[in-house]
Amino acid sequence: MTEKTTPEGIREKLVRTKERWAEEGRLLTGAAGDPARDRLPPGQRLVTDWPVLDLGIQPDVEEEVARLDIDGLVENPVSLSWAELMALPQEERRNDIHCVTQWSRYDNDWRGISVTDLLARARPRPEGRFVTMESHDGYTTNLPLADLDRPENLLATHWSGTKLTRQHGGPLRLVVPHLYFWKSPKWIRRITVIAEDRPGFWEVRGYHDRGDPWLEERYS
C-alpha cells in the first residue's frame, strides 16, 4: 500500500493539510463578530447534520473501564469511575457549537456532569492557572483554567436524549461551547491542572492557543 492509502498515511496527510491551512491563514475573513448581535460567528456556515472530526482513531471505551481523573495542582485529586460519575447530579445544557473548519450547529442538547462542580471538588491551587486534557485516542488540548471553570461547560454523556455515540466521543466528552470545538475533547480521560500553559495536539500545529470563534482565533 502507498502512503496515501494506509490509515496512518491518510491521517498524516490530513494533519499536514490542516497545518498548512494554519500557516497560510486559510478561512480567515478578518471581520469581528458580536455575540450580542449575531448568532453565527464570522466565517462560519450553519449545518444541520453533525460532522465527525477526529484523528481517525475512535477508541472503544467501555463504560466499565471509563474513568475521569482531575489531578496536578489541586488540593484534592479526583478519580471517578463510571458508576461514581453516574451517581453525581446529571445536568442539562443547550448550546451552539462552532468548528474551526467553518461549520456551526445550533441548539445541541447535552446531558452530563457539571465541570464547575467537579473542579470545586478538586480545589485547584492558586498557582494552577491552566489545564491540559488527555483523551483515550492520544489527543490533547489545553485551556486557561478560567475557560474550563464556566457554568455552561459540561462533561457530556448524552446528546439529544440518547447516549453519546462513540464517533462523537462517547461515553464521556467535554463540551466547551464558547470556544472552537477542537477545545472539546472526545473520549476524555484526564484533566491536569498546571501552572504554565502547555499547547496540545492542534495548538503545536499552528492552531490558536485559545480559539474564540467571535474573534476568529483560528490560527496562531
Please give the residue ranges that form the binding site for Mo ion (CB under 5 A). Answer: 53, 99-100, 182
Extract the C-alpha cell encoding 189. Answer: 480521560
In the bound complex, what is the minimum distance in angstroms from residue 152's beta carbon to Mo ion? 19
**Cα–Cα distances in angstroms (integers) from residue 198 to residues 41, 86, 203, in the given order:** 27, 30, 9
> Of 22, 54, 73, 148, which lies in the binding site for ligand MTE, with binding defined by CB under 6 A?
54
Binding-residue pattern over the window 85 to 104 for ligand MTE, x denoting contact by CB under 6 A:
--------------x-----
In the bound complex, what is the minimum distance in angstroms from residue 53's beta carbon to Mo ion? 5
Which window, 4-12, 37-45, 76-84, 183-191, contacts ligand MTE (CB under 6 A)? 183-191
| Residue number with CB closer to ligand MTE (99 or 123) | 99
Extract the C-alpha cell encoding 94. Answer: 443547550
CA distance 175 to 192: 17
152-188 burial, b at 16+ Cβ within 10 Å, e below that, comes to ebbbbbbbeeeebeeebbbbbbbbbbbbbbbbbbbbb
In the bound complex, what is the minimum distance in angstroms from residue 25's beta carbon to ligand MTE? 18
| Residue number with CB closer to ligand MTE (99 or 145) | 99
Name 71's Cβ contacts closer than 8 Å, sequence gap at least 6: 77, 78, 79, 190, 191, 192, 193
Q: Is 213 in the site for ligand MTE (CB under 6 A)?
A: no
In the bound complex, what is the minimum distance in angstroms from residue 123's beta carbon to ligand MTE? 26
| Residue number with CB closer to ligand MTE (114 or 189) | 189
Extract the C-alpha cell encoding 146. Answer: 478560567
In the bound complex, what is the minimum distance in angstroms from residue 32's beta carbon to Mo ion? 21
CA distance 51 to 39: 20
Q: Is 169 in the site for ligand MTE (CB under 6 A)?
A: yes
Number of residues engaging ligand MTE in binding (CB under 6 A) = 18
CA distance 45 to 49: 12
DSSP category for residue 123: -
Extract the C-alpha cell encoding 178. Answer: 464558547
In the bound complex, what is the minimum distance in angstroms from residue 51's beta carbon to Mo ion? 9
> Of 113, 187, 200, 211, which lies in the binding site for ligand MTE, with binding defined by CB under 6 A?
187
Residues at the contact surface with ligand MTE, assessed by CB under 6 A: 50-55, 99, 135, 137, 139, 168-169, 181-182, 184-187
